[in-house]
Structure 1
Amino acid sequence: MGMETSAESPVPVRTVLQLVGGWITRLGRIWVEGQVTDLNRRGGTVYLTLRDPVANMSVRVVGPRAVFDNPAVADGARVVIHAKPDFWVNRGTFSLAAIEIRAVGLGELLARLEHLKRVLSAEGLFRPERKRPLPFLPHRVGLICGRDSAAERDVLENARRRWPSVRFAVEPVAVQGSYAVGEVMAALEKLDGDPEIDVIIVSRGGGSLEDLLPFSDEALVRAVAACRTPVVSAIGHEQDTPILDLVADVRASTPTDAAKRVVPDVREQLELVRQLRDRGRRCVGGRLEREQAWLSAIRSRPALADPVREVERKAESVVALRDRSRRALDGALTRAGGELEHTRARLLALSPAATLKRGYAIVQRPDESVVRSADDVAENDTLAIRLSDGRVTVTVTGTGSH
């Protein structure tokens, strides 16, 4: 619950400090990890500053010499301290009263890094499908490296040797120590927000595991994973593998290798262009030769070599077909004429007119029906007798049979 104060009823400084001291005391004993700086031994008491390995924050630590009587405790060492938070009311200062101190060994660091790798891998930050390809020829390259470092020279010199017109935006940062993570993350955010930057290289030379620890920091690794710009990791030498190598889009074994991966070699590209040009010429030349051979073969054929002779041959064929059709038509007409005469003769032979000319007659009733028997007529019937040269009308006077 807050203290009721006002301008008319303020509280003295001692009361405020005593309250703060009471709140801090409630924390109890805690384990704190950090990096030792400003180590100072005076008499039986040891004073040091415990700096956060990532953020620019620190706390004062005080303890008896016996607690710090450990050769591994030195400036720059990573330690874990069991301490009690303490607030000096008289001075208004905060510190940690050390009870026990342990140096963070190499095995413990490796175990922590392996645990962090498993956590990040389970989240999918190392999956190959999330890694982005590098541009063929970047418009501008962002470089995060140490100030005036050999890694910077290796990247710049090798990149410009391969492609002289390549442009860089260099962000010098601390690449080890307590300030490294914060400065690298700030430079990364700046370059990732620049639309002209097509690829970012994070580079530094080799070093011990402790020196490369900033590049295995979880906050930095997640910042690289969140970048929209492809990131190339070139940390240390071939055998050095900080976690940044696993999350970066491309892992380069050295700064020189990073320059080779990011920038193409102009000589190699010119040679490739020459080879492709020669290949194109050979393909086009071969195609033209094949088409020329085909055209020559077509022109050598009789239809194109002597087109008039082909027309004459076709004309002769037309004449022969015409004569053949005429002969066939004449033969057909002759046969048809003979058949017509034969049919005409048969018709004449079978015609009633021919029979009438021989003296016969046809007897018909008024309705022109033919009388075939004497029994078919009666007396006084009127009949018509048809002769070869006319007709005669008669009246029946009597009937009888032979």
Structure 2
Amino acid sequence: MTSKTSPESPLPIRTVLQMVGGWIGKLGTVWVEGQITDLSARGGTVFMTLRDPVANVSARVTAPRGVYEAAVPRPADGARVVVHVKPDFWVNRGSFAFTALEIRPIGVGELLARLERLRQLLAAEGLFNADRKRRLPFLPGTVGLICGRDSAAERDVLENSRRRWPAVRFKVEEVAVQGPYAVGEVTEALRKFDADPEVEVIVIARGGGSLEDLLPFSDETLVRSVAACRTPVVSAIGHEQDSPLLDLVADVRASTPTDAAKKVVPDVGEQLTLVRQLRDRGRRVLGGWLDREMSWLTSARSRPSLADPVRGLERGAEQVDALRDRARRSLSGSLDRAEDSLSHLRARLVALSPAATLERGYAIVQDPSGEVVRLAKNVAPGSVLTIRFTDDRLTVRTEDGTSPTTTKPRKPRKKASDETG
């Protein structure tokens, strides 16, 4: 077409629109899924807007009243439906719309089945594993809160948190929490808080609602965004019985927005009570330990070795003196006994010595060989004999065996006692 047009020979707008209508008409019919909004009826035609459940995309749909009323149950604003449509282009207005040929509401059972399939898929990938969940900080400096605009959930979280810990700070992002814009806005707020270094915990809060109202919090895009966050995320969606997939992937699940405030922020009164109890317990433990140590010290000081240390030294000195005296007595007794024994032995030796016999006037006659002469007949005439007295000796020569000739006496070499000794 561009080759056949120019500024000098343009095509009329009707021709172009007719060509566009022809192209669209070639698409045929198609089944589409979406959420109904802006539902209205005029005459025999029902007008509605069909929004994509995830992206911010919508299209106008017209349906004959008979087609609309044939749907059971009859869909209303916010309902999820599957529509068999034929794309149409109105050349006169240059507008595009779908014409509904059949409308089928998506029942709760079908929604639950889809959520179960998505849950199994995400669980198989490990997004719900407990080991990847992070612990919340004890006292976060700043809490990021994602909630609806002027919602009761926002008031519950803020009021209960500040009642528990007045100094806590919040950064609040108000977003759509249901409808076609919810997933995109919540995901964008989540990424913003995750990139903020001041935010230590992110809370996603919404009050209760129907299954269809809470569907954005089971959206796969949002669930994967929460799993990819570096900041701990607390899910506080609906009531206790509500369990969107966001509860499974979040690091902490709170049953209600009020419960989220209790999990994120500690109670200052409870913490002061705990500190007081721990302080009292520490005092009791320390006091008991000091009492035991003082008792031990008192007992140690009462021992004689510490109560009167000089007395111990005195007893030791007394023992040394007693042992010394005992040793002296023992040694002295041993010496006395030895001396007495020596005297007795000396007296016996003197009594048995030949010198003692000589002192009584006896003499000892010895031949030249030194043998004692006991009989005169044993001496030959002319033999030289030595007569030994106590202090000296005399040499004689025999003449006839009976009359010895006296010679000059000699000085004895030793005393008789010395020789015997």
* Separation of aligned partners in 1, 2:266 and 2:210: 31
Query: 1:170: which partner in 2?
Result: 172
Query: 1:258: which partner in 2?
Result: 260
* Separation of aligned partners in 1, 2:284 and 2:43: 88
Residue identity matched to 1:243: L
Query: 2:240: which partner in 1?
Result: 238
Cα shift at 1:334: 8.1
* Separation of aligned partners in 1, 2:275 and 2:14: 81
Query: 2:218: which partner in 1?
Result: 216
Helix, strand or coil at the partner of 1:67 = helix
* Separation of aligned partners in 1, 2:79 and 2:182: 16
Query: 2:37: which partner in 1?
Result: 37
The 5 Å alignment of 1:302-317 reads: 302-317=304-319
Q: What is the aligned length?
A: 349
Cα shift at 1:92: 4.2
Query: 2:356: which partner in 1?
Result: none
Query: 2:58: which partner in 1?
Result: 58
Runs of 5+ in structure 1 lacking a partner? 346-356, 362-387, 390-402
Query: 2:408: which partner in 1?
Result: none
Rate the CA distance shift 1:5–1:142 in 2: closer, same or farther, 3 A. Answer: farther
What's the C-alpha RMSD, in Å, of the aligned pairs? 3.2
Rate the CA distance shift 1:72–1:306 in 2: closer, same or farther, 3 A. Answer: same
Rate the CA distance shift 1:14–1:332 in 2: closer, same or farther, 3 A. Answer: farther
Query: 2:79: which partner in 1?
Result: 77
Helix, strand or coil at the partner of 1:40 = strand
* Separation of aligned partners in 1, 2:90 and 2:147: 42
Query: 2:122: which partner in 1?
Result: 120
Cα shift at 1:10: 8.5
* Separation of aligned partners in 2, 1:313 and 1:46: 121
* Separation of aligned partners in 2, 1:157 and 1:43: 50
Residue identity matched to 1:75: D
Query: 1:153: which partner in 2?
Result: 155
The 5 Å alignment of 1:2-401 reads: 12=11, 21=21, 24-25=24-25, 27-69=27-69, 70=71, 72-88=74-90, 91-326=93-328
Residue identity matched to 1:316: E
* Separation of aligned partners in 2, 1:317 and 1:360: 67
Residue identity matched to 1:38: D
Query: 1:374: which partner in 2?
Result: none
For each residue in 1:124-151, what CA deviation from the matched residue of structure 2 results, as whole angstroms up to 9, or x when unmatched?
A: 1111111111110000111111111111
Residue identity matched to 1:271: T
After TM superposition, the score normalised by the length of structure 2 is 0.74
Query: 2:396: which partner in 1?
Result: none
Cα shift at 1:24: 4.3
* Separation of aligned partners in 1, 2:27 and 2:321: 124
Cα shift at 1:220: 1.0
Runs of 5+ in structure 2 lacking a partner? 350-365, 371-411, 414-421
Q: Give the share of equivalent positions with the same residue, in percent.
A: 69
Residue identity matched to 1:192: D
Rate the CA distance shift 1:358–1:259 in 2: closer, same or farther, 3 A. Answer: farther
Cα shift at 1:91: 4.7
* Separation of aligned partners in 2, 1:256 and 1:7: 67
* Separation of aligned partners in 2, 1:75 and 1:308: 104
Helix, strand or coil at the partner of 1:220 = helix
Cα shift at 1:18: 6.0
Cα shift at 1:30: 2.0
Indicate if the aligned counterparts of 2:51 and 2:59 stay in contact, CA closer than 8 A. yes
Indicate if the aligned counterparts of 2:173 and 2:189 stay in contact, CA closer than 8 A. yes
Residue identity matched to 2:252: V
Q: Which moved more, 1:182-191 or 1:35-44?
A: 35-44
Indicate if the aligned counterparts of 2:79 and 2:105 stay in contact, CA closer than 8 A. yes
For each residue in 1:199-255, what CA deviation from the matched residue of structure 2 results, as whole angstroms up to 9, or x when unmatched?
A: 111111111111111111111111111111111111111111111111111111111
Rate the CA distance shift 1:236–1:10 in 2: closer, same or farther, 3 A. Answer: farther
* Separation of aligned partners in 1, 2:134 and 2:125: 18
* Separation of aligned partners in 1, 2:156 and 2:64: 48
* Separation of aligned partners in 1, 2:367 and 2:311: 71
* Separation of aligned partners in 2, 1:68 and 1:84: 15
Q: Which moved more, 1:204-213 or 1:133-142?
A: 204-213
Indicate if the aligned counterparts of 2:68 and 2:74 stay in contact, CA closer than 8 A. no
Rate the CA distance shift 1:45–1:360 in 2: closer, same or farther, 3 A. Answer: farther
* Separation of aligned partners in 1, 2:338 and 2:190: 109
Cα shift at 1:180: 1.3
Cα shift at 1:182: 1.2
Residue identity matched to 2:227: A
Larger Rg: 2
Rate the CA distance shift 1:224–1:86 in 2: closer, same or farther, 3 A. Answer: same
After TM superposition, the score normalised by the length of structure 1 is 0.77
For each residue in 1:323-371, what CA deviation from the matched residue of structure 2 results, as whole angstroms up to 9, or x when unmatched?
A: 34445666777899989xx9xx9xxxxxxxxxxx99769xxxxxxxxxx
Residue identity matched to 1:307: P
* Separation of aligned partners in 2, 1:252 and 1:235: 8
Cα shift at 1:94: 3.0
Cα shift at 1:116: 1.2
Cα shift at 1:317: 1.6
Helix, strand or coil at the partner of 2:68 = coil
For each residue in 1:81-124, what CA deviation from the matched residue of structure 2 results, as whole angstroms up to 9, or x when unmatched?
A: 11233344565433323221101111111111111111111111
